[in-house]
């Protein structure tokens, strides 16, 4: 069965430090991969997405992620954390299902990022 695993439910970094949030997927077909961010009491906002073009994807707010097929991974990184990056981050994949298209989005459990001074 298709699945998404986010390693680490909580990650804490210092302001200015590297942010690394891990995501691994399981799929028998080529996936499309996404990272979403959720600020407190808000909905989900798309950070970036991989849709079979370049394997290194750049998103908003200085985040980027690299699709590595051999490792079935799509880790999210940011070179220098900012206080405003504190939020919950979700990795998600979409797979082809019965209706003939990629129309089912499956989420990981989420990683809560804390940034301290």
Partner 1 sequence: NAGVTQTPKFRVLKTGQSMTLLCAQDMNHEYMYWYRQDPGMGLRLIHYSVGEGTTAKGEVPDGYNVSRLKKQNFLLGLESAAPSQTSVYFCASRTPSDRDYGYTFGSGTRLTVV
Contact residues: partner 1, CB under 8 A: 4, 6, 9, 32, 34, 42-46, 49, 51, 90, 92, 94, 99, 101-110
CB within 8 Å of 58: residues ≥ 6 apart: 48, 64
Q: Taking the complex as a whole, how short is the minimal distance between the CB of residue 59 and partner 1, in angstroms?
A: 12
CB within 8 Å of 82: residues ≥ 6 apart: 15, 115
Nearer to partner 1, 17 or 106 (CB): 106
Q: Taking the complex as a whole, how short is the minimal distance between the CB of residue 18 and partner 1, in angstroms?
A: 24
Q: Taking the complex as a whole, how short is the minimal distance between the CB of residue 6 and partner 1, in angstroms?
A: 8
CA atoms within 13 A on the CB side of 33: 36
Length, in residues, of the chain: 117
């Amino acid at each position: 069965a298709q699945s998404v695993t986010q390693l680490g439910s909580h990650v804490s970094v210092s302001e200015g430090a590297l942010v690394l949030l891990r995501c691994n997927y399981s799929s028998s077909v080529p996936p499309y991969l996404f990272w979403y961010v959720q600020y407190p009491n808000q909905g989900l906002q798309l950070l970036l997405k991989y849709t079979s073009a370049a394997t290194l994807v750049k998103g908003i707010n200085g985040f980027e992620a690299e699709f590595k097929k051999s490792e079935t991974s799509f880790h999210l990184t940011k070179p220098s954390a900012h206080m405003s990056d504190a939020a919950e981050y979700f990795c998600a994949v979409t797979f082809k299902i019965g209706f003939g298209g990629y129309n089912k989005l499956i989420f990981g459990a989420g990683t809560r990022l804390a940034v301290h001074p």
